[in-house]
Amino acid sequence: MQKQHDRVWTWDLPASPAALWPYLSDTARFNEAAGTPRYTVTEEPQPDGSVRRLAAASYKGVAVEWDDPPYEWVAEREFRQTRIFRRGPLKSLSPTLQLEPGPDGGSRVTYRISGAPRGIAGYLVFATGLLNKVGKGLEEMVHQAGRFAVGQAEMPFDYTPPDLTPQQQARLDGLTRQISAGAYHHDLADRLARHITTAQEVDLVRIRPRKLAREWQAPVRHVAELCLDAARLGMLGLSWNLLCPRCGGAKASADTLEALPKQAHCPSCNIAYDGSFTSNIEISFRPATAIRSIGEGEFCMGGPHVSRHILVQQILAPGEERKVTATLPAGEYRLRTLEPGGECITRHDGNTFPTLLAEDAEAPAFTMRAETGDTSGTIAMRNHSSRELTFVIESRAWRSDALTAHEVTTLQAFRDLLPDQVLRAGEDVGIDSITLMFTDLEGSTALYERLGDAAAYRLVRRHFGVLAETIREHDGALIKTIGDAVMAAFATPEHAVQAALHIHDRIAAFNADYSRETGSADTAIGLKMGMHAGRCIAVTLNERLDYFGSTVNLAARLQGRGRRGEVVLSESLAADPAVAPLLRDRAASRESAELKGFDRPVPFVRLTA
């Protein structure tokens, strides 16, 4: 009986390798569309710090188990993996994809499958035309991806979603109408409903608003608000995920913030890590089970598309040296391995890429360092350690699709729609950077005396409405009101300052309108604002998320230095690269003052009319 079976298919397509790679390297999407069953994975940490992945599935009633090693790839060029089976009719199965420029432009796609049978059952699997069937399916899917890459198809792969029952469809239709009747639909409710019913499961198991916003060409805030409202009503389920800082996987999840652990262990990377509101705690969504049930297990766990920030990944035996063809763009890269150990950061100038060198250190660790490369267009890797290592070249410029807890909790819609999502009592979480705004009315006591309590209160409430609307429009959240004052929070400095400048203009228009209504200029209100950005802690206070720390105190003190119609910013906030251009044409003065609670005079910028 033949011990090894190999089959190679080659196709020429009009799309470039760069255009095809995102779809042909998305092995989970590819496998789901091809009808491959899900599988389960058990991850076993090894004494040397590596992780062994054992996979199991049932295919047409036949139980199979295999070692599921990491994929190897060079982005936009190739990938490969070899599964070694422990149970079932096969001994091994190895898919390999290669992309190269076509002879007449476009791409030449080469797909190779190698497999070895186990016993008579395996022989029969190959003898009955397994590879012929695989090849026919591959050809259809590769050409479909090629058509999608050049804009001639609506989906990367043909996919038939499951039909909803009449009850599920009725629930979905009713919830869609409810969202459309509310304040957070942004004309996207029907689109979300279509996504839930037609998308592949790989797109639904972890719905990420930032990714949807990019695909829909919609503002991130609009999609985030849509998903939050859908979660409130029961169209979507909500999950807080604690992401591994190395692989980005969600290794701990909970339905509520207070149930999310502060630490987690990533079995894939074999490391323990802490949660950070700013960087690795994200919110995601999935269809409610009453609408569409999503299966458990993996279609593919470790394909290149799962780790898009990794541009090169190669497995080297002890003592092995290897060169791969790759041209990486200029930028900053992290050189490391999948196994715990050394890493280094290098800046690539776009010409010769550094050589990666791993060497033994104190057992079981090793060091990773970069040496001068020798050939442009190739990358050399040298494993001078005594163990097998998976070399990784990771782009530092890549941006995650995660919508972090810091970002979503500074959205007004989050506080309005999900007020019960708070931290555990007595727990605090550090925020690396937040921009805080405090506002207050100048002469509010005189205002109440002049207008009377009822009229003054109505005026103050109307001014709160102006502030809340403007803060929300600039991706911020109104944290609380304190008498006539407001505290607001923003994830980014530029959004906060844009909101302040817009509030300044709106209050001027508000005063003009109110004076026309009453026929008196005496009713005009005087608003002053103070702002600062920096670190703080988030806590639960009065059953709502709140912020404390020196950043909060300084923003409040700066508001106290303001006068009617002024915005007072800390010097560091005014100098922020995204803020400075916003202030270029504004009348401003630079000052400093001693503020209560601060040892030294505090420099600040005062914006006037």
Of the candidates 124, 140, 109, which has an alpha carbon nearest to the alpha carbon of residue 8? Answer: 109
pLDDT for 554 beyond 90: yes
**Residue listed under structure tokens 């350690």:** 385
Average pLDDT over residues 116-120: 91
Average pLDDT over residues 546-562: 95
Q: What is the pLDDT of residues 254-311, one digit of tens each?
A: 999 999 998 898 877 778 888 888 888 999 999 999 999 998 899 998 899 988 899 9
| Contact of 203 with 195, CB cutoff 8 Å | yes
Hey, what domains does the chain have and what are their CATH numbers? 5-149 (3.30.530.20), 166-287 (no CATH), 309-395 (no CATH), 422-607 (3.30.70.1230)
DSSP 365-426: -EEEEEE---STTEEEEEEESSS-EEEEEEESS-----EEHHHHHTSHHHHHH-TT--PPTT
Average pLDDT over residues 504-521: 84
| Contact of 85 with 66, CB cutoff 8 Å | yes
Q: For residue 517, what pLDDT is reported?
A: 81
Q: How far apart are CA 439 and CA 530, in angstroms?
A: 7
Q: For residue 514, what pLDDT is reported?
A: 81
Q: Kindly list the distances between the CA atom of residue 104 and the CA atoms of 9, 13, 107, 108, 109, in Å, as whole numbers in the listed order.
A: 18, 10, 8, 9, 13
Q: What pTM was computed for the model?
A: 0.88
| Contact of 428 with 539, CB cutoff 8 Å | yes
Q: What angle do CA 363, 366, 367 make, to 5 degrees?
A: 145
Collapse the DSSP code of 471 into the 3-class scheme (helix H, G, I; strand E, B; otherwise coil) and give the result.
Answer: helix
| Amino acid identity for residue 511 in this structure | N
Rounded to the nearest integer, the mean pLDDT of the chain is 91
In this prediction, residue 609 has a pLDDT band, given cuts at 50, 70 and 90, of low
pLDDT for 478 beyond 70: yes
pLDDT for 535 beyond 90: yes
DSSP 229-261: HHHHHTSEEEEEEEE-TTT--EEEEESSGGGS-
Average pLDDT over residues 585-595: 91
**Residue listed under structure tokens 């002890």:** 318
Q: How far apart are CA 501 and CA 609, in angstroms?
A: 10
Q: For residue 1, what pLDDT is reported?
A: 55
Of the candidates 499, 500, 465, which has an alpha carbon nearest to the alpha carbon of residue 481? Answer: 465
Q: How far apart are CA 604 and CA 601, in angstroms?
A: 10
The CB density around residue 520, as the number of other CB atoms within 10 Å, is 12
pLDDT for 233 beyond 80: yes
245-249, 424-428, 495-499, range with greatest mean pLDDT: 495-499
Q: How far apart are CA 280 and CA 406, in angstroms?
A: 10
Q: For residue 363, what pLDDT is reported?
A: 55
Q: For residue 452, what pLDDT is reported?
A: 86
Q: How far apart are CA 532 and CA 213, in angstroms?
A: 29
Q: For residue 521, what pLDDT is reported?
A: 66
Q: For residue 556, what pLDDT is reported?
A: 96
Q: Kindly list the distances between the CA atom of residue 513 and the CA atoms of 443, 445, 524, in Å, as whole numbers in the listed order.
A: 20, 22, 10
Dihedral sign from CA coordinates of 247, 39, 241, 198: positive
In this prediction, residue 523 has a pLDDT band, given cuts at 50, 70 and 90, of low
Q: Kindly give the pairing relationship between strand 355-360 and strand 378-384.
A: parallel
Q: For residue 311, what pLDDT is reported?
A: 96
pLDDT for 152 beyond 60: yes
pLDDT for 231 beyond 90: yes
| Contact of 454 with 474, CB cutoff 8 Å | no
Q: Kindly give the pairing relationship between strand 331-337 and strand 321-325.
A: unpaired
The rounded percent of the chain whose pLDDT value lies above 90 is: 67
Of the candidates 393, 261, 259, 267, which has an alpha carbon nearest to the alpha carbon of residue 322? Answer: 393
H or E element in which residue 442 lies: strand 428-442
